[in-house]
Structure 1
Amino acid sequence: MKNFSYLFRLIVLVSVFIGSELSAETPENTIKIFRKLSEKLQSVKKISYHYTREFTYPAEDYHSKSEGEMYIDFRKENELVGFRYQYKDETGFSVFNNAELFEVSEEDRTIQISTKLKISDFEGLSALYNSMITMRNMLPAVIADRNMVKQVKDTLIGKKRFYLLSFQTQDMYPDYLGRTFKKTTQKITFYNTIIVDKKSFLPVSYIQLKKGSRDVNRTDFSNIMLDPATPEGESWYYSTYLKDYKERKKESVMAIGVGQRAPDFTLVQNENGEKVSLNNFRGHPVLLEFWIKNCSYCISAVPELNVLNTKYGLSGLKILGINATDSQRVINQFVQRQKVNYTVLLGDATVSKNYGISAFPHIILIDKQGYVIYSGGFDIAILNALISKSL
């Protein structure tokens, strides 16, 4: 069971939503099976597994796959977030020992530590994305939400029987820890499916799709062991690795705030190579959108930004999309595929640093006098109101 073949993966994915040759459970049994999975995960004290994370975005011709080995300890003494873990892949490893989180890079042989941790510090850790931890924490909320569409079917993959537990979420998706659901700024229906081994009653896959999109996010769990041997004591401590890895200081990144003067910049326009400076637009409100190619929310923001440009462009609003990560060839492909109707600039590290950009898309709205009046995620309702007032 280490890996499903591509054919079986495709069969499962299609079968979940078409429903061919699947037997469905009654509504009563559906809830019972969801509860049984939740109770099974809640009963786990220690677990290890081979973890595979795969993103496929056909419209962007993008596919990413990573995998590694995960060990999680859910025992009671792990108070901060309810667990400690060790994760290792070909790029390095990360360890959270209930007091400190440190990450090691094999590429540059460095180690970075974080202390005084908050729950939000665990958001974005790749080993936690749609993981066993996510499912363990989110399932009680899924079960309790009577408005959430849920279904259970059973199927045969190879010679093994599995349950397919599916549920829909509207305009929200689970965070990495599964403790809450994050709201989207767009109207999006998410289809979530957990594939459960009937014999062990443990998840072997978590698939996430979006209505009207061919994008697929998938995590797989194989070589699952309950109550595995605990990694040796010294492996949990930051000091153990200092003789082999040099310490890397964590840079604090804080996005520019409302009320600050927007730093000027001069960047090259993607379309024609001409230079564009922010100060050129003094006397007009300016919306900066910092984006990257491999970001589903950046993609979904484009139609709304196009609408804003059409609605307010003739009244003086200037929209500048800034990409400091991807090549010009990739940016050109994105602009053409997504039919971007506003100006796109080739960014650089200095501009991103000056504006404190660490997540995408990040929107900066600047008034006619050059001061920031909004800094944050893409929220069409807020932006509409602020732009109307600033014109």
Structure 2
Amino acid sequence: MKNFSFFFRFIILVSACTCLWLNAGTPEKELKIFRKLSQKLQSVKTITYRYTQEFTYPAEDYHSKSEGSIYIDFNKEYDLAGFRYQYKDQNGFSVFNNSGFFETSAADRTIHIKNKMKAADFEGLSALYNSIITLRNILPTVIKDEHIEKHVKDTLMGKKHFYLLNFKVQDRFPNYLGTDFTATTEKITFYNKLIVDRKSFLPVSFIQLKKGSRDINRTEFSDIVLHPVPPAEDSWYYSTYLKEYTPEERNPVKIIDVGQSAPDFTLDKSKTRGKVRLHEFKGEVVLLEFWIKNCSYCINAVPELNKLNNRYDPSKFKLLAVNTTDSRSSIDQFIIRHKVNYEVLSGDEAVNKNYGISAFPQIVLIDKKGAVIYSGDLNIAVLYPLISANL
């Protein structure tokens, strides 16, 4: 299928959708189009397509684009997740064979192997983000949910007509598999837009926008082939590649355990440009939040952390957000843009290693004596009573 410039496509979307959300309720003829797309995707047994992902966050000065090709087999025997797939891009390739997962690195000729996959392990796999798999699984939920506003318009790109399917979702977005929605920690309206080929009734583009934001997530599907020639059977097994690739030894990074002494550090303050040592806060409860700027979960965490910081006496409680990854100017912009009201620290990357940080955001709560009393994800329901009990 022909690729159209994203700018041209976005102008069409804006002009076509200006008045989409004026009426609640979806006419039956438009619901039929949603159902037809869902039925089409449910009928797919095997498929290949060219996959283009683009993320544009002007406020964060961030832009990323990646491309690859994917083969998906939805055979009923693949009961663990309902499919198996092979994905390839310039960095290497990855394979999920219904039980295990492996991925190669073209740069160092290594292969990483994970023998048993759980549903949570699929989150973060770029080949699945807003993919055909996502749409195949999430559309039945979208269609059934009367609280999700749905509309269909006709749109013209070049000289060709397409359907433009729109659904608006409040405070949640599809997970990678499309088996459910992931809730946000703040109020966000997501505008989801699907451009569908009127002849094949397959999606050519999936675009996500946020109300009041210029952020754009775009996925394009091109060169779609149904019932393609399948990959060789031995290509599904990592043992096939062991002559070409060396198994990678990954020592799993584990966040610091409860009961351990919090490692001391010296970092730079963003607000006052001074230095600060963790040791200075002995006798106070300290919450460390480890974060990076290009992380939607980190952005969504700010309002909750602001509330938490305002709740306690600053002479007894300190909230310190640690970012050892981004530049000082990027951190300063983040603080202003998202109205951060707590102290933000930057500097030595060894801090993340010492605390076992491998994902963001992560929380470490330290008591008055310097011992870790909580480590893990941001869980406000757990943190509030724990902080109060230790002040």
Q: What residue identity is the alignment partner of 2:100?
A: E
SS at match of 2:127: helix
Is structure 2 residue 84 aligned with structure 1 residue 84?
yes
The answer to whether the aligner puts 1:133 opposite 2:133 as a matched pair is yes
Alpha-carbon distance in structure 1 between the residues aligned to 2:261 and 2:188: 32
Cross-structure match for 1:163: 163
Which position in structure 1 is the counterpart of 2:104?
104
How far is the alpha carbon of 1:3 from its aligned partner? 1.7
Q: Name the aligned partner's letter for residue 378 of structure 2.
A: F
| Cα distance in structure 2, aligned partners of 1:2 and 1:313 | 60
Q: CA RMSD in A?
A: 2.4
Residue number in structure 1 paired with 2:207: 207
Tell me what 1:344 maps to.
Answer: 344
1:194 aligned partner: 194
Cα separation, partners in 2 of 1:15 and 1:313, compared to 1, 3 Å: farther
Contact 1:309 1:318 in 2 (8 A): yes
User: Following the alignment from structure 2 to structure 1, what is the Cα–Cα distance between the partners of residues 25 and 109?
Assistant: 51
Cα distance in structure 1, aligned partners of 2:187 and 2:27: 27
CA separation in 2, counterparts of 1:27 and 1:123?
34
User: Which residue is 2:75 aligned to?
Assistant: 75
Question: Aligned partners of 1:381 and 1:25: how far apart in 2?
Answer: 35
User: 1:265 maps to what in 2?
Assistant: 264
TM-score relative to the length of structure 1: 0.91
Q: What are the Cα deviations for residues 169-198 of structure 1, in whole angstroms up to 9, with x where unaligned?
A: 222211100111112222222221111111
Matches within 5 A, 1:360-375: 360-375=360-375
**1:286 aligns to what?**
286
The alpha-carbon distance between structure 1 residues 382 and 2, as it changes in their structure 2 partners (threshold 3 A), is farther
- What is the alpha-carbon distance in structure 2 between the residues aligned to residue 173 and residue 95 of structure 1? 25
Task: Indicate conservation of the 8 Å contact 1:25/1:153, yes or no.
Answer: no
Deviation at 1:287, TM superposition (A): 1.3
Conservation of the 8 A alpha-carbon contact between 2:262 and 2:371: no
SS at match of 1:314: coil
Which range moved further: 170-179 or 357-366? 357-366
Consecutive unaligned residues in structure 1, runs of 5 or more? none
The normalised TM-score by structure 2 is 0.91
* Inter-partner Cα distance in structure 2 for 1:290 and 1:31: 44
Q: Contact 1:25/1:152 (CA < 8 Å) preserved in 2?
A: no
Tell me if structure 1 keeps the 8 A contact 2:323–2:347: yes
How many residue pairs match? The answer is: 387
Report sequence identity in percent: 63
3-state DSSP class of the match of 2:312?
helix
Aligned position for 1:119: 119
- The 8 Å contact of residues 12 and 156 in structure 2, kept in 1 or not, is answered as no
Comparing 354-363 and 302-311, the one that deviates more = 302-311
Encode CA deviations 1:342-372: one digit per residue, 9 max, x unaligned.
3222254543234332322222222323343
Secondary structure (helix, strand or coil) at the match of 2:284 reads coil
Query: Residue 38 of structure 2 aligns with which residue?
Result: 38
Match of 2:180 in 1: 180
The amino acid that maps onto 1:88 is: K
Query: 1:114-162 CA distances to partner (integer Å, 9 max, x unpaired)?
Result: 0022111111000100100001011111112122211111211112211
* Cα contact 2:25–2:149 (8 A) shared by 1: no
Provide Cα deviations, 1:271-320, integer angstroms capped at 9, x if missing partner. 36644332221211111111111112322333443443344353422111
Change (3 A) 1:30 1:251: farther
Is 1:331–2:365 an aligned residue pair? Answer: no
d(CA) in 1 for partners of 2:387, 2:194: 42
* Equivalent pair of 2:68/2:87 in contact (CA under 8 Å): yes
One-letter code aligned to 2:265? T
Equivalent residue for 2:377? 377
- Contact 2:363–2:377 at 8 Å: present in 1 too? yes
Return the letter of the residue paired with 2:45. K
Alpha-carbon distance between aligned partners in 1 of 2:25 and 2:147, rounded to the nearest angstrom: 18
Q: 1:66-96 deviations in whole A, cap 9, x for unaligned? A: 1111111111222211111111111111111
1: CA distance, partners of 2:324 / 2:43: 46
Deviation (angstroms), 1:323: 1.3
Alpha-carbon distance, 1:383 to partner: 4.0
* Residue matched to 1:236: 236
Alignment of 1:210-225 (within 5 A): 210-225=210-225
Conserved 8 A contact 2:262-2:366: no
Is the CA contact (8 Å cut-off) linking 1:170 and 1:188 kept in structure 2? Answer: yes
Aligned to 1:251: 251
Q: CA shift at 1:57, angstroms?
A: 0.6
2:95 alignment counterpart: 95
C-alpha distance 379-192 of structure 1, shift in aligned 2 (>3 A): farther
Q: Which moved more, 1:157-166 or 1:66-75?
A: 157-166
Going from structure 1 to structure 2, the CA distance change for 1:128 and 1:253 (only over 3 Å counts) comes to same
Secondary structure, counterpart of 1:72 in structure 2: strand
* Paired letter, 1:280: E
